[in-house]
């Protein structure tokens, strides 16, 4: 174990070096670029034996990863924003082929207008693609999620691809002090790859990518959905093993001063760090506020979320993406729907925030908590879906 | 045939039994025309055997013996490629039309 000060992207590149996948196929895009830049240096320096495939687009990056994974290789890639959008059709195919490809998604706004800064519209758009999605508050969590993602995706009960999401620039380009495991510890934790059935096994020939029409497509999708459900206990079990190794504990979400809170704010990724400071300030003044930071968005840990939130007076869900559905962001609609069957359920409101990298600071989050506290005292919401920090 | 339920699907949609294309009779959804083979005009060049994308041309001892309609999609490539001058040895006819003794497009 070593303590280093690196940017989020450098930390993730080191994680990939330690994992040493058989194949990495990637195309550069801001703010992911230096993940693959640093990884390509590791390849050039002989630090890894990985076959590094420089492709002409992200569609080709994912296609090459799918081809290699179908050939029995452990594969990784990384992308952001338009890159993920360009991958689109093959992202779904990786999941339906049940290939445990791990992809770092450095969250960046989708065009247009063209923008290179952080929001979650890229990975949120892929929330129904059949990939497991892990979210990270900081570089340490991005690294820890990356290592665990290999074990989660490759687990025989799961066999699904995993996105490891973290905030573009805010985390990807800011230097933090993080703890890296020793190379040998990572290798031992992930173990050798068992690809199961694959195309380069001439003794057991298979067909991959066969047509499945109205008589069998539905059954395949149902089985895929079940694999996503089975991922939840696997994610918990892998986190328990990882805690023994690293001393850092993870679950499907982090509850921060949540147990006795009357007002809970739910927010993903780096903004959760700012929100924790606001919780501390408000707690010092006696306000019963807390934070729930989802780590696993797909599969959605419904019963765990309901157990943690149902007894609150007010839940304020923050979305760094707008679904453009006129009923709030994706995290909001999922959490509000999850709470519907609860006999006692809180008022649930939504703030869309931080689009295109709009900074969301302590004052913005204080406003959100204060609105939650006002509602908890019996105030009426003006709107269920609100926009935070946009100029009127 | 009872189709398997979702719990019996092979993960990833893999097909584990090579050669199973034989079980899928593509001729079930043949287009509106089917090929008719006229053996009296056939020169057994086997161009049709070479070009047929579904392997429907039946051959024995180097001679064409018929057309397997179970897999014929009615694309007409065999008739197009048949090099016989004048009336070709393979012609296309609408489904159900009388065959006048031609083989391959046997009565349906």
Burial class (CB in 10 A: 0-12, 13-18, 19+), A360: buried
CA distance B24 to chain A (A): 12
Task: Provide the whole-model pTM.
Answer: 0.91
Categorize the per-residue pLDDT at B98 as very low, low, confident or very high, splitting at 50, 70 and 90: low
According to the model, what pLDDT value does residue A290 have? 98
CA distance B38 to chain A (A): 36
Is the Cβ of A200 closer than 8 Å to some Cβ of chain B?
no
According to the model, what pLDDT value does residue B107 have? 33
Give the span between the Cα atoms of A392 and A87, in whole angstroms.
35
For the record, the structure tokens of A207 come out as 């067909």
Flag whether pLDDT at B102 surpasses 70: no
According to the model, what pLDDT value does residue B99 have? 59
Give the span between the Cα atoms of A135 and A296, in whole angstroms.
6
Residue A159: partners with Cβ closer than 8 Å, 6 or more residues away: A98, A99, A100, A153, A196, A227, B11, B12
With residue B63 as reference, give the H or E element that holds it.
Answer: strand B63-67
| β-bridge partners, A316 | A265, A349
Categorize the per-residue pLDDT at B24 as very low, low, confident or very high, splitting at 50, 70 and 90: confident
A196 → chain B, closest CA residue: B11
CA distance B58 to chain A (A): 26
For residues A77 and A26, is the Cβ–Cβ distance under 8 A?
yes
A65 CA to centre of own chain: 19
Weakest-pLDDT range from A197-201, A303-307, B29-33? B29-33
Q: Count CA within 13 A, CB hemisphere, residue B19.
A: 1
Flag whether pLDDT at B97 surpasses 80: no
Categorize the per-residue pLDDT at B104 as very low, low, confident or very high, splitting at 50, 70 and 90: low
For an interface test with A, the pick among B5, B12, B17, B29 (most A C-beta atoms closer than 10 Å) comes out as: B12
For an interface test with B, the pick among A155, A157, A207 (most B C-beta atoms closer than 10 Å) comes out as: A207
Long-range CB contacts for residues A46-51, cutoff 8 Å, separation at least 24 = A47/A17, A48/A17, A48/A20, A49/A20, A50/A20, A50/A21, A50/A22, A50/A23, A50/A24, A51/A22, A51/A23, A51/A24
A373 CA to centre of own chain: 29
Give the span between the Cα atoms of A351 and A329, in whole angstroms.
8
Flag whether pLDDT at B22 surpasses 90: no
Give the span between the Cα atoms of A143 and A10, in whole angstroms.
10
Mean pLDDT over A1-15 rounds to: 96
- Whether residues A210 and B5 touch (CB distance < 8 A) is answered with no
For residues A319 and A330, is the Cβ–Cβ distance under 8 A?
yes
For residues A10 and A174, is the Cβ–Cβ distance under 8 A?
no
According to the model, what pLDDT value does residue B101 have? 54
Q: What is the per-residue pLDDT across A309-338, written as a single tens digit (0 to 9) for each?
A: 999 999 999 999 999 999 999 999 999 999
Q: Is A219 helix (H, G, I), strand (E, B) or coil?
A: helix
Query: Does this complex have an ipTM over 0.85?
Result: yes
Of residues B107 and A152, more confidence is placed in A152
Flag whether pLDDT at B105 surpasses 80: no
Categorize the per-residue pLDDT at A360 as very low, low, confident or very high, splitting at 50, 70 and 90: very high
Handedness of CA A121, A97, A77, A195 (dihedral sign): positive
Is the Cβ of A201 closer than 8 Å to some Cβ of chain B?
no
Average confidence score pLDDT of chain A: 97
Task: Please name the residue that has the structure tokens 């025309």.
Answer: B33
Q: What is the per-residue pLDDT across A154-197, written as a single tens digit (0 to 9) for each?
A: 999 999 999 999 999 999 999 999 999 999 999 999 999 999 99
Q: What is the per-residue pLDDT across A93-147, written as a single tens digit (0 to 9) for each?
A: 999 999 999 999 999 999 999 999 999 999 999 999 999 999 999 999 999 999 9
Give the span between the Cα atoms of A294 and A272, in whole angstroms.
9
For residues A30 and A197, is the Cβ–Cβ distance under 8 A?
no
CB contacts under 8 A, B 6-45 vs A, are 6-7, 9, 11-16, 18
Q: What is the per-residue pLDDT across A30-52, written as a single tens digit (0 to 9) for each?
A: 999 999 999 999 999 999 999 99
B5 CA to centre of own chain: 32
CA distance B56 to chain A (A): 21
- String of DSSP letters for A271-301: HHHHHHHHHHHHHHTT--EEEEEESEEES--
- Please provide the size of chain A in residues: 392
For the record, the structure tokens of A187 come out as 């290798």
CA distance A98 to chain B (A): 5
For the record, the structure tokens of A276 come out as 């924790």
Phi and psi torsions of A214, nearest 5°: -60, -15
Categorize the per-residue pLDDT at A359 as very low, low, confident or very high, splitting at 50, 70 and 90: very high
Flag whether pLDDT at B89 surpasses 80: yes
- Whether residues B3 and A215 touch (CB distance < 8 A) is answered with yes
Flag whether pLDDT at A285 surpasses 50: yes
With residue A241 as reference, give the H or E element that holds it.
Answer: helix A217-246
According to the model, what pLDDT value does residue B108 have? 33
Q: What is the per-residue pLDDT across B47-75, written as a single tens digit (0 to 9) for each?
A: 999 999 999 999 999 999 999 999 999 99
Give the span between the Cα atoms of A98 and A23, in whole angstroms.
17
A158 CA to centre of own chain: 17
A121 CA to centre of own chain: 12
According to the model, what pLDDT value does residue A322 have? 97
Mean pLDDT over A366-381 rounds to: 98
Flag whether pLDDT at B106 surpasses 50: no
- Whether residues A223 and B4 touch (CB distance < 8 A) is answered with no
Mean pLDDT over A339-362 rounds to: 97
Burial readout A102-118 (b: 16 or more C-beta within 10 A, e: otherwise): bbbbbbbbbeeeebbbb
């Amino acid at each position: 174990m070593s303590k280093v000060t690196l940017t989020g992207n450098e930390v993730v590149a080191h994680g990939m070096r330690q994992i040493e996948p058989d194949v990495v196929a990637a195309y550069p895009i801001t703010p992911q670029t230096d993940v693959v830049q640093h990884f390509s240096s590791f390849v050039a320096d002989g630090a890894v034996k990985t076959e590094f495939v420089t492709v002409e687009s992200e569609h080709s990056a994912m296609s090459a990863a799918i081809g290699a994974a179908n050939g029995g290789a452990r594969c990784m890639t990384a992308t952001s924003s338009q890159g993920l959008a360009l991958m689109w059709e093959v992202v779904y195919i990786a999941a339906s082929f049940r290939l445990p490809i791990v992809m770092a998604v450095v969250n960046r706004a989708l065009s247009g207008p063209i923008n290179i800064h952080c929001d979650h519209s890229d990975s949120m758009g892929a929330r129904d693609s059949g990939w497991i999605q892990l979210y990270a508050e900081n570089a340490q969590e991005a690294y820890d999620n990356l290592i665990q993602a290999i074990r989660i995706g490759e687990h025989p009960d799961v066999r699904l691809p995993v996105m490891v999401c973290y905030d573009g620039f805010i985390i990807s380009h800011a230097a933090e002090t993080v703890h890296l495991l020793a190379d040998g510890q990572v290798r031992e934790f992930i173990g050798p790859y068992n690809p199961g059935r694959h195309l380069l096994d001439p003794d057991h020939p298979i067909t991959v990518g066969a047509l499945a029409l109205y008589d069998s497509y539905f059954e395949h999708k149902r089985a895929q959905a079940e694999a996503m459900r089975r991922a939840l206990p696997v994610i918990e079990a892998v986190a328990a093993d990882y805690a023994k190794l690293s001393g850092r504990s993870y679950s499907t979400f982090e509850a921060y001063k949540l147990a006795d809170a009357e007002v809970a704010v739910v927010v993903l990724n780096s903004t959760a760090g700012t929100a924790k400071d606001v919780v501390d300030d408000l707690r010092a003044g006696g306000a019963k506020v807390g934070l729930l930071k989802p780590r696993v968005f797909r599969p959605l840990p419904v019963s765990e979320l309901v157990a943690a939130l149902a007894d609150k007076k007010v839940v304020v869900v923050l979305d760094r993406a707008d679904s453009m559905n006129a009923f709030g962001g994706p995290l909001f609609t999922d959490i509000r729907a999850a709470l519907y069957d609860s006999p006692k359920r809180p008022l649930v409101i939504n703030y869309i925030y931080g689009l295109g990298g709009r900074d969301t600071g302590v004052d913005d989050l204080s406003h959100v908590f204060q609105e939650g506290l006002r509602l908890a005292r019996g105030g009426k919401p003006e709107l269920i879906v609100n926009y935070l920090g946009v100029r009127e | 045939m009872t189709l398997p339920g979702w719990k019996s699907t092979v993960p990833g949609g893999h097909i584990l039994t090579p050669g199973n294309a034989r079980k899928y009779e593509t001729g079930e959804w043949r287009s509106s025309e089917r090929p008719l083979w006229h053996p009296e005009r056939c020169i057994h060049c086997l161009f049709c055997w070479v070009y047929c994308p579904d392997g429907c041309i039946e051959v024995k001892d180097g001679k064409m013996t018929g057309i397997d309609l179970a897999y014929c999609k009615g694309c007409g490539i065999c008739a197009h490629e048949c090099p016989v001058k004048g009336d070709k040895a393979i012609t296309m006819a609408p489904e159900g039309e009388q065959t006048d003794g031609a083989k391959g497009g046997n009565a349906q």
